[in-house]
Amino acid sequence: MENLPKSMLFVLRQGPHQTPQAREAFDILLMASSFANKISLLFLSDGLFQLIKQQDTTLLAIQNFTSAYKALTLYDINNVYVAKDDLLARGLTEADLILATTLLDDIEISALIAQHDIILNY
Amino acid sequence: MLHIINKSPFISLALKDCLRFAGNTDAILLIEDGVYAALETYMSKHLIPLNLNQLTIYALNEDIYARGLIDRISSKINIIDYPGFVDLTLTNNPIQTWS
């Protein structure tokens, strides 16, 4: 199929459990992985709280969709980026995250956004 | 008086606005995304320098666990569960929710 978009970037800026938005974005990116050639994820601001380890929603009686982020490689999604400054501001390090990510500074993030064909914000 | 905060301090001014007006002996309860303010880094950078020694800060256990924060929160935080939440609403008057 010639008309497939070359690349798609999901910009994820919401915390995981306050609103359904983060969960919806996750469902959409899995769906998109079946037709887009290349998908990248960029976690900014409170979005990176989605990746924090040890999330246990048992007491809230809701499903913890964030553990499914560990399975992203099964969907051929290997490009996961995190804003370095936002991670530092929250006192977190790469060791606090459930999957391997690439840390980017703001200049690198500008370049990353500019090189994608489609940008989706959640 | 009890102040309830349910927004992340990284994207909302709810907690900062609350702290402008909170009295010395008031209690602050962090729930939902408000519990991100209980992070050790946030507390030591933004709250402890304010010398709010009399102010008691509580955070809801259920929301702390859901967000994976149990090993990452400040020792200044008093962790309570839902029955504790109810107790706070009974022993404090008035209650303001800074949503």
Report ipTM (2 d.p.). 0.89
Tell me the shortest Cα–Cα distance from B41 to chain A, in angstroms: 5
Cis before B83? omega within 30: no
Q: Domain holding A41: CATH number?
A: 3.40.1260.10
Q: Which domain holds residue A97?
A: 1-6+24-60+68-105+113-122
Residues from chain A that touch B41, judged by Cβ atoms under 8 A, are 89-92
Give the C-alpha separation, A27 to A12, whole Å.
13
Q: CATH code at B80?
A: 3.40.1260.10
The pTM score is 0.92
C-alpha dihedral sign at A74, A96, B80, B34: negative
Q: Which of A78, A108, A8, A89 is nearest to A49 (CA)?
A: A89
Chain A interface, Cβ < 8 Å to B: 15-18, 45-46, 49, 52-60, 62, 64, 89-92, 96
Specify the number of domains making up chain A. 1
Residue B34's domain spans which residues? 2-98
Q: What is the pLDDT of residues A12-57, one digit of tens each?
A: 999 999 999 999 999 999 999 988 889 999 999 999 999 999 999 9
Domain count, chain B: 1
- Region A90-102 average pLDDT: 96
Of the partner residues A45, A57, A89, the one whose CB lies closest to the CB of residue B66: A57
Residue A19: inside a domain: no
Select from B32, B61, B69 the Cβ nearest to the Cβ of A18. Answer: B32
